[in-house]
Structures are given as structure tokens and as C-alpha cells.
Structure 1
Amino acid sequence: MYVGVDVGTSLVKAAAFDAGGRPLAVESRPVGLSFRAGLVEQDMEEVYAAVAAVLTALTAAVPDPVELVGLTGQGDGVWLVDGEGMPMRAAASWMDGRAHELLGRWQADGTFEEVFRRTGGAMFPGSPGPLLAWLDRHEPGSLDSAATALYCKDMVFERLTGVRATDVSDASMPFLDPRTRTYDDRVLELLGLTHRRRLLPPVGDPLPVGRTLGGGLPLDTPIANGPYDLAACALGAGLTGPGDGLLIVGTCLAALVATTDLDLTGEPAGLYISTDRPGFWLRAMPAMVGTAALDWVLSTTGVRHDEVDALLDAAPPGANGVRVLPYFAPSGERAPFVEPRLRAELTGVCLESTRGDLVRAVCEGIGYAARHCLEAAGLKGSLAVCGGGTRSPAWMRLLADVLGRPLRVVEGEVGARGAVLAAAERHGIALDRAAWTEPTAVVRPDPGRAAYYTGGYEDHLSRLASARERARH
């Protein structure tokens, strides 16, 4: 069997597949996030323990020999470890907002734009550049004593194998030159981090590989580290042709478009993710909040997840005038623009508004944000969709209407599939990619509703422009 491990922000999963890509079993464990005054952190020991637990349970449930393991996980943030790969402090999450003032200064003095023009990555508060610079100013001791500033999956990989390395996809933000596929020392200089260069892990190109030392897997099992979750989902959803796109409706709402054109002009936003294919990138617009926005509305209104479809079907397009700008993250928004102080807005509510109106309004708002991201990323071809949001058929119908295009729905553990496909290619194992990435459904838009939502999208952009202006003042 082939095993893919996906170390998500709130859930760690391990999935087993046979050689044809058919799922054999999935194990998952939740992991916590700590929110405090703009700081969002995770306990690295808890995350690694969850990885070991899902792997132990998976190999017990499916006793077939493990042929190969692929590893993926959440990107960005800062995961400081010592020379043995052990945690030096809590990990700063990609959702963290502590560096927003520092980022604001970089936006004002041109540093932010210059970094984008060099790397194709628009920094946001939870990306490694601002976080490392903040720690250098406020917690220099933690950096002095650390051996490496890793990404999430790299921390797990080092604990499983003893190998210290990242891959080109995770390294893409914000220090990697996408043309040379090596760290750009000028970027470190611009961010005041030249003296911290030693903390950057070696970039494995192609993917770093190793053999397991334990952690719930048989000793000496071959494992590949990466790509990180956005790029892994692109592989798992069959995204291979330039112009084709993927929308990940998960905690983070991520829009990806495959491209062979490295265009570093235009508004600095999102990033170019380098892949194992030189000259082939993923233009990524990873918005800060996806299903997390819906989860907040559900918890606030007392609606259960199994009630969502019925509520969506009962409320009409436009949600009876209720409208949501879905920018709920404490660190603002990062794609398709960077606005650290932007916050969510809920308008049009009255005593006649229902829970269904609120649920539909936030789902429509997320759909408009997705359309904005996909347009900015340059979508021209087909569109696949994956992530937890695909479990709601009503939301998929709504998304197809808002986006005005068919959706190739790819369900299951798409990131884990992509991690296995990447690991197999790295190890020279031939797998049938078409079979592994076959969509489970195609959802087509209703022409009438799609026309309605074209007007709704223009209204969304107008309200967003006003909200961004207020956030700056």
C-alpha cells in the first residue's frame, strides 16, 4: 500500500491507497490552535504525536506492507527546532497576526513590493519573513538557540527520518528565487535577516527523501517530503495543463492556476509556487479564510453542519438581502490582495433574517472571494474543486453558480493523494495519474442563477473596495 500523510492546520490525516489509487483506509486526529491577542500558535509535540497516532492506527487497520510514504502539510508559519529536530517554542501558525505592523511598514517603504518582484511571493503577517523578523526583534533568544526555522511538514519529516530539509514549494514563500530555485540573499537583506540565514533549511531539489526511524511506520520505510498542501492538492486533483485551475475549499480558501509564465508585474498578491518541474509554477491565491468563516457563523448561530444543505436550499440567491464580506481572519487578507487590517462585514440583517439567510450569505461571500482569487490567478481552462466544502452538495451547486463554470469535484484525501504521487515520481515508481485523480462528479451552473451572481459579484467588489479603504484608515 501507499500512504499519504497530510498535516493540516486543525486535522492530521493519513490515508492508504492501493496501486490503482483506490482508498483503503483513512485515519485522522484533531490538533489544537491557540488564539491570543493576534497570536496564533500550535504545539509541535501535539502535532507530531497526532502524526504518529494516525500512522500507527492506519498500519494496524491495513496490514499490507507499506511500499512508500508521501508527506504534505500546511505551509508558512515558523516552526523552530533545535539540532535534534525538537521544538524550541510553540509554532507560529500561518494564521498568526503579530507581524502586521511590521508588514505595514514594509508596504509603506517599498520593501514588500521589492520582495514580490524578486520572488513572486506577496508576504502576509503569517509568512516566514515577517514572523522571523518579528521574532528577531522581540524574541531574539529563541532564534539564537534554534538550529532551523522549518515549515510544518519539514518538522515532521525531520522527526521521522533525522533529515533536515524543505522542498521548493514550501521554500517559495518568501525567500526562494523562482528562476534559480535557490534562496535570494537580497531578500534576506531587505528583511533584516541576513544574520539569520543559517536558520533556513536546505532546499531539496528534487524532493527530499529519507527512511523512517519509527513514528508509527515500519523502520526504514521510504518517505518523500513534500510538496506542501496547496501543491500536493494540485497534483491530487490532476492539475497539469497551463491555464487549468483548482479551488481548495478548506480552512484556507486557495485558488491555484498552473502556468509556465512567470509574471512578476501587477499588484503584489499571492505567490508563485515552484514545483518539481522547472519552468512550471502554480500561481496561487490562498485567501485566509474558507470553511473557517462558515464554521464561525455555524457556531455563532447554533447551526449544525448536517443542517447546512437544507438551509442553503431554503434561502434564495441573494440571501434576502443579507451580505457578507468573509474576511474573518485576525491577520486580515493575503489574496488576491494584502490587507492586514481588513475585517469581515455583515450587512442587510433585520429581524426577519433567518439562520438560513446568514448561512447562505457567508457561502455566497466565500464564493465571490473565490471568483476574485481565480480571476487574479489567471484561470482560463477547466476548474477542479476539493476540500472539506465538497461534502456539501448544495454549496457546490452554489459555487458553480457564483463562479459561472462547471466544477470537477475531486473528493477524498486529495492532498494525501498528491503527496503519494509526488513521492512515487521521486522514487521512479509508475502510477496511473489519470486513475488516481479521476473526479467524483461534475457540477454545472444554472444559467439564470449564474447571471444573477454576475451582478452580485460586481456588488461584492464595490463593497470590498470601500472596506479596504476603511481598513487603511
Structure 2
Amino acid sequence: MYVGIDVGTSTVKAAAFDAEGRELAVASRPVDLALHGGFVEQDMDELYGAVVAVLEEVTSRAPDPIELAGLTGQGDGVWLVDAEGRPVRPAASWMDGRAHELVDRWLADGTFEAVFRRTGSAMFPGCPGPLLAWLDSHEPKALDAATAALYCKDMVFQRLTGTGPTTDVSDASMPFLDPRTRTYDNGVVELLGLARRRGLLAPVSDPVATAHTLGEGLPAGTRIANGPYDLPACALGAGVTSPGDGLLIVGTCLASLVATTDLDLAGEPAGLYINTDRPGHWLRAMPAMVGTAALDWVLSTTGVRHEEVDGLLAETPPGANGVRVLPYFAPSGERAPFVEPRLRAELTGVSLESTRADLVRATCEGIGYAARHCLQAAGLTGTLAVCGGGTRSPAWMRLLADVLGRPLRVVEGEVGARGAVLAAAERYGVTLDAEAWTRPTAVVEPDAGRAAYYTEGYEEHLARLAEARGRARA
């Protein structure tokens, strides 16, 4: 038996698998996000408590002892801990927008581009560079009290194992790691004014760190590996490892990933290059800020339940009777395939004749156009896998296939947890059949006529987006 732990933004999950990759037990717990005035924070103790709870539940239901565990979780943000791994303050989430003025300034003075040219990371307000710089100016005592600025999974790993602070090359990719040397670029630390806080950056374990658990959640002595974080873990879990192949994660974050062996730091600064466990192999990532969160907001505002989405998508035609949605709802704007901290969502074409179905379809179409934009920028040339909560809607998957104009390899279940186990098995020398573990559950083909319609709609989307970006900068 193998256990994968995925510490998500809104839900913590654990899944138990047998040696053939069959998902035998899953446990989950929701966790809160505190939103106030552009700040988005999480209680680390609550989050860790949820991890322990799901592990206790899933191990109690597993028919055999656990051989090893793999850990993954949300990326970015700042998770400040003391020497015992305890929180110094609430974690600042990757969705946090407090540092947008810093990013604006760095965009204007060239710092933003200089960092991208060195690391392949296009900073956004919720990544560690801007957040640490903001905290250094506004909450220096919090940084003084901390011994490490971790990422989410690193905080969990430290508390599960009692080891010292550590991270891996995937999490460290944004924004301090040199993708060629796989070590921190001290020049970037200095560019961001953080030289005196350099000691807070956790040591990078390459390959990922391993340890034995202390006995909370998992039996004491269970072997566990720390990483990669959720985006590359999902790529592993979906079998996206060959250059040119891509993955679309339709989750809280709409993440587009393309496997590559080419490191091009000369293009438009956007997204990031995620370092993988194989030197010379990266994931070109375009993690857009809002995915299912945009649809959730529309559903809650209109009083629609999630189980009604498929029926509503069938009630209105492609184009949603003229209703259009630019789905940039995040308080910190957008970060991929461009960085625009002040960009906001727009809803147009609405009249008294518009229906809830029109609003739902327009939102799903808008998210699809955003995904197409990201995948195009990331350099997709091969097959495309798709995973995440959005895959639970067959109608939305058909719509996405049409909007993207290509077949979708749908990989259902706990894909991030699956990838975390595969990474742990590789680290420990445990042989698993990766092809069997990553086999798609379905392939959704696009309809030629609707795909042609959406190709025109995509060009309209890009034009409307350009106008909205102009307004955001005014």
C-alpha cells in the first residue's frame, strides 16, 4: 500500500493505492481561506490538523500496511515557521494580493524582467519574492522571529517527520532558483532587497528529501518523500513527461504545463519554468490565477448547485447567446500567460433575457479561452491530459475539448497524490508501473463544427482581453 497526501488550497486529501495504482481509499477535509482587503491567509495549525485527520482516516481504511508515502501541496505563498516548525504568523497564500504595488514597481523599473531572465520565473503578488519583501517592510518582527520561509508541503513535512526545514527544486523554482544550476541565485535575492533575509530560504534537497514519520497521521517510521509540489506532481500522475506533451489542471488554479527540454529565457516574461527531478527537463508552466474558483463564484452568486452545471450547459448554445466572461476574478489579478496585477473579471452582453445557463456557459467558455491562451504560450505540441475538479463535469470536458480544438486525455481521481507516490517510489527505488498508474480514464474528442466556432471566439477573447489589460494599466 502507498499513500499520497495532497495539501490543497481549499481541500486536504489523502489517497491510498495498491501496487497497480488502483485508488482504494480517499479521505478529504476542507480548509478555510481568510480573505480581507486583498490579503488571503491560511491557519497553518488548522491545515496541519486536516492533514493528520485525513491520514488517520485513509490508513484506517487501507487493507494492508503502508509501505511509503509521498507528499505534495499547493505552491508559492510564504509559510513562516520557527525552529520547531511552528507557525510565526498565518501563511500568506499564493492567492494573496497585498504585494501588488511592489510587483507594479518592479514591472516599471525592470526588476521583474531581470528576475525572469535569470530564473525563468515571472513573479506575481502571491509568490515568495514579493511577499517576503512586503513582510520585510510591514511586518519585520515576523521575519525576525522565523527561522525559515517554507512552502506549504515543506511545513507539513517538517512537522510529520521532525526534520529541519527543507524544500525541493520544484517549489524553489519560483522565484529564487537558477534553473541551470538548480541552486539559489543570490543576485535575485539582492535584486528584491532581501539579502539580509537570505537565511530564511530553506535548503534545497535535490533529489527530494526523505525521512521517517513520527507517528502523527501515519504509523511511526513510515517512509515519506517531500515533493514535488502539486503542479509537477499532477504532471507525474497524469503521465506528462515527454517533451511537447501537456497537462491542464482544472482546479482552483487553472494550470497549464508542457514538458520541455528547452530553456528559453528570452521570451515574454510570464509563467515559470518548473525544475523537475531530471536535470535538463522542465515543465513550462502557465498557472493562471483562477480556474474553478471563477465558476464557483458565478454559481454561488446565481444560486446554482454544482450538480446542475451539466444540465445548464445543455440549455444554451455555444456563445451563450452573446454573454461573455473574462474570468480574471483573483484579487491579485493575473500571472499567466501574462502578468497584470490589476486586471479584473468582466461580464458583458447581459440583458434581461439572459439566463443562468447563459452565465454558466459563458464562464466555462471564458475559462476555456484562458486555458487555450496559456497552453499556446507554453508551447503545447503533443498530447493533452486534463485533471482536477472540473473533470467531474462531462459536459464541461466536452466544451473544453471544443474550445481547445484537441482531444483530452481525462485522468480522474487524486492525480496529485498519485504523482507524489510515483515521485516517492522513484526516490526510494521502489519499482512501479508508471504506465498503469497514469492511464487515462477517458478520451474526449472535439466536435469539428464547434471547434471551428470557438477558434473565432478565441480571437474575439484575445481582443477583449487586450482592451481590458489597457484599462487595468490606465
What is the TM-score with the length of structure 1 in the denominator? 1.00
* CA–CA separation in structure 2 for the residues paired with 1:3 and 1:248: 21
The residue identity in structure 2 corresponding to 1:263 is D
Does 1:115 pair with 2:144? no
The aligned residue for residue 438 of structure 1 is 439
Q: What are the within-5 Å matches in structure 2 for residues 319-468 of structure 1?
A: 319-468=320-469
**Per-residue CA distance 1:187-241 (angstroms, 9 max, x = gap):** 0000000100100001000011110012211001000000000000000000011
Give distance in 1, aligned partners of 2:215 and 2:49: 12
Query: Residue in 2 aligned with 1:262?
Result: 263
Confirm whether residue 158 of structure 1 aligns to residue 152 of structure 2. Answer: no
The equivalent residue for 2:316 is 315
Aligned residues: 473
AA of the residue aligned to 1:98 = R
CA RMSD of aligned residues (A): 0.4
Q: CA deviation at 1:266?
A: 1.3
Matched, 1:303 2:304: yes
Q: How many Å separate the matches in 1 of 2:333 and 2:350?
A: 23
Matches of 1:13 and 1:276, distance apart in 2: 23
Distance 2:203 2:54 in 1: 28
Does the residue aligned with 2:256 lie in a helix, a strand or coil? Answer: strand
1:266-277 aligned at under 5 Å gives the runs 266-277=267-278
For residues 421 and 92 of structure 2, the distance between their equivalents in structure 1, rounded to whole angstroms, comes to 27
For structure 2, the 5+ residue unaligned runs are none
Alignment-derived partner of residue 21 in structure 2 = 21
1:60 positional shift: 1.0
User: CA–CA distance in 1 between the matches of 2:228 and 2:456?
Assistant: 38
Corresponding residue for residue 240 of structure 1 = 241
Distance 1:126 1:291 in 2: 18
Residue 68 (structure 2) aligns with: 68
Q: State how far apart, in whole Å, the 1-side matches of 2:15 and 2:290 are.
A: 25
Q: Where does residue 3 of structure 1 map in the other structure?
A: 3
Letter in 2 for 1:414: V
1:190 aligns with 2:181: no
Distance (Å, rounded) in 2 between the aligned partners of 1:313 and 1:418:
34
Aligned partners of 1:454, 1:266: CA distance in 2, in Å?
Answer: 24
Q: CA deviation at 1:165?
A: 0.6
Shift of residue 59 of structure 1?
1.0
**Alignment partners' CA distance in 1, 2:54 and 2:300:** 27
- AA at the equivalent of 1:10: S
For residues 8-53 of structure 1, what are the alpha-carbon distances to aligned partners after superposition, in whole Å with 9 as ceiling and x for unaligned?
A: 0000000000000001100000000000000000000000000000
Aligned counterpart, 1:470: 471
What secondary structure does 1:314 align onto? coil
CA-CA distance at 1:61 after TM superposition: 1.3
Partner Cα separation in structure 2 for residue 365 and residue 348 of structure 1: 13
Where does residue 129 of structure 1 map in the other structure?
A: 129
Structure 1 CA distance, aligned partners of 2:430 and 2:417? 17
SS in 1 for 2:268: coil
Please report how far the alpha carbon of residue 463 of structure 1 lies from its aligned counterpart in structure 2 after TM superposition: 0.1
After TM superposition, give the deviation of residue 267 of structure 1 in Å.
0.9
CA distance in 1, matches of 2:277, 2:127: 22
Superposed counterparts of 1:25-36, under 5 Å: 25-36=25-36
* Partner SS, residue 349 of structure 1: coil
CA distance in 1, matches of 2:288, 2:215: 36
Partner of 2:224: 223
Deviation at 1:390, TM superposition (A): 0.2
Aligned AA (1:102) = L
**Match of 1:20, SS?**
coil
The amino acid of 2:310's aligned partner reads D
Q: Once the 2 structures are TM-superposed, how far is the Cα of residue 162 of structure 1 from its aligned partner?
A: 1.6
Pairwise CA distance, 1:108 = 0.3
**What is the DSSP-based 3-state SS (H/G/I as helix, E as strand, rest coil) of the residue aligned with 2:208?**
coil
User: In 1, Cα distance between the equivalents of 2:273 and 2:241?
Assistant: 15
SS of match in other structure, 1:149 = strand
The DSSP-based 3-state class of the residue aligned with 1:179 is coil
* Deviation for aligned residue 1:313: 1.1
Cα distance, 1:265 vs structure 2: 1.0
One-letter amino acid of the structure 1 residue matched with residue 40 of structure 2: V
Q: What are the equivalent positions in structure 2 for 1:73-84 lying under 5 Å apart?
A: 73-84=73-84
1:162-201 alpha-carbon deviations (Å, 9 max, x no partner): 2221000000000000000000000000000010010000
Q: Which residue of 1 aligns with 2:104?
A: 104
Report the counterpart of residue 178 of structure 2 in structure 1.
177
| Structure 2 counterpart of 1:49 | 49
Distance 2:118 2:412 in 1: 36
Task: Tell me the secondary structure at the aligned position of residue 419 of structure 1.
Answer: helix
User: In the aligned structure 2, how far is the partner of 1:68 from the partner of 1:456?
Assistant: 48
Match of 2:288 in 1: 287
Q: Distance in 2 between matches of 1:214 and 1:284?
A: 36
Structure 2: distance between partners of 1:390 and 1:267? 31
In structure 2, give the amino acid aligned to 1:143: L
**1:141-173 deviation digits (Å, cap 9, x = unpaired):** 000110000000000000001222100000000
Structure 1, gaps ≥5 residues long: none
Between the aligned partners of 2:246 and 2:397, the Cα distance in structure 1 is 16
User: What's the secondary structure of 2:385's corresponding residue?
Assistant: strand
Give the C-alpha shift of residue 98 in structure 1: 0.1
Q: Secondary structure at the match of 1:142?
A: helix
State the one-letter code of the partner of 2:222.
T
The percent of aligned pairs where both chains have the same amino acid is 81
Q: Deviations over 1:78-105 (max 9, x none)?
A: 0000000000000000000000001100
Tell me the TM-score normalized by structure 2.
1.00
Name the SS of the counterpart of 2:174 in structure 1. coil
What letter corresponds to residue 133 of structure 1 in structure 2?
A
**Which amino acid in structure 2 is aligned with residue 285 of structure 1?**
M
Instruction: Single out whichever of 335-344 and 211-220 deviates more from structure 2.
Output: 211-220
Deviation at 1:63, TM superposition (A): 4.2
- Deviation digits for residues 311-369 of structure 1 (CA, Å, limit 9, x no counterpart): 00111000000000000000000000000000000000000000000000000000000
Q: Could you list the per-position Cα deviations for residues 389-439 of structure 1 after superposition, in whole angstroms to 9, with x for gaps in the alignment?
A: 000000000000000000000000000000000000000001000000000
Distance 1:35 1:215 in 2: 30
Secondary structure of 2:224's partner? strand
